[in-house]
Amino acid sequence: MIQVNQVNKTFQLGDQPVHALNNIQLKISPGEYLSIMGPSGSGKSTLLNMLGLLDIPDDGEYWLQGCDGLALDTVPMDEEVRARYRRDHIGFVFQSYHLIPRLTAAENIELPLVLAGIPPDERKERLQPIIQRLGLEQRAGHLPNQLSGGQRQRVAIGRATIMRPKLLLADEPTGNLDSHSGAEVIELLEELNNDGITLIIVTHDMDLGDRAKRKIRMVDGEIVLDKSREQEPS
């Protein structure tokens, strides 16, 4: 599903170039569950943004599986095509939720369907099962500032998955949550992975990272460890 070949990305910070990604080689199969860990500034979020088509590498190749099952070279895509692919095939969950304050929980979840031009009847048909699965039946009409952190993150997950994406990217999804709410959010993400969604989580939390079936560690823009659970000693 994902093939990254010799990707590099450099940012200019004042007079100093910062090599955020250095010769990244990565292959991810459909349905995998990965964590990406490393110290601050190691390139974790830059890699996640590139995988989510929010950023473009300076050089190298990034291939994604298209609707017809054929691989697409994403680097030459123009921004309109990239935005359409993001909308239809990639879900994003962020530490700070990024909910729209004036919209209710249900309206926030439904928003991608509205932007995609999905008819109202189909939107309702898709929305109700997700609200039930998220346990938000009693909070669907509430605004974000009337919800707990865990409830807001569940709304964000609902919004990220209502378009039925193949790929779900989560950047520190439990960073603003207490341990109980964080555990509920991770269990929900893992349920979605069990349903077949490819799940990639960026985290500083070693316990959270260790839950993934495959762990990647980055240092100074390079992948220094790529280990699946099957490779670990019992």
Q: What pTM does this model have?
A: 0.91
Mean pLDDT across the stretch 61-87?
Answer: 82
Domain boundaries, position 162: 2-231
Residue 90 in contact with residue 169, Cβ under 8 Å? yes
Q: Taking 70 as the threshold, does the pLDDT of residue 153 lie above it?
A: yes
Q: Taking 90 as the threshold, does the pLDDT of residue 160 lie above it?
A: yes
pLDDT number for residue 75: 87
Could you give the CA distance from residue 157 to residue 30 in angstroms, rounded to a whole number? 19
228: confidence class by pLDDT, cuts 50, 70, 90: confident
Could you give the CA distance from residue 159 to residue 114 in angstroms, rounded to a whole number? 11
Q: Residue 72: which CATH number?
A: 3.40.50.300
Could you give the CA distance from residue 168 to residue 200 in angstroms, rounded to a whole number? 6
Q: Taking 70 as the threshold, does the pLDDT of residue 162 lie above it?
A: yes
Name the most confidently modeled range: 10-19, 48-57, 64-73: 48-57
Residue 86 in contact with residue 52, Cβ under 8 Å? yes
Q: Taking 90 as the threshold, does the pLDDT of residue 147 lie above it?
A: yes
Could you give the CA distance from residue 89 to residue 1 in angstroms, rounded to a whole number? 12
User: Considering its fold, how many domains does the chain have in total?
Assistant: 1
Q: Summarize pLDDT for 96-115 with one digit per residue, the tens.
A: 889 999 999 999 999 999 99
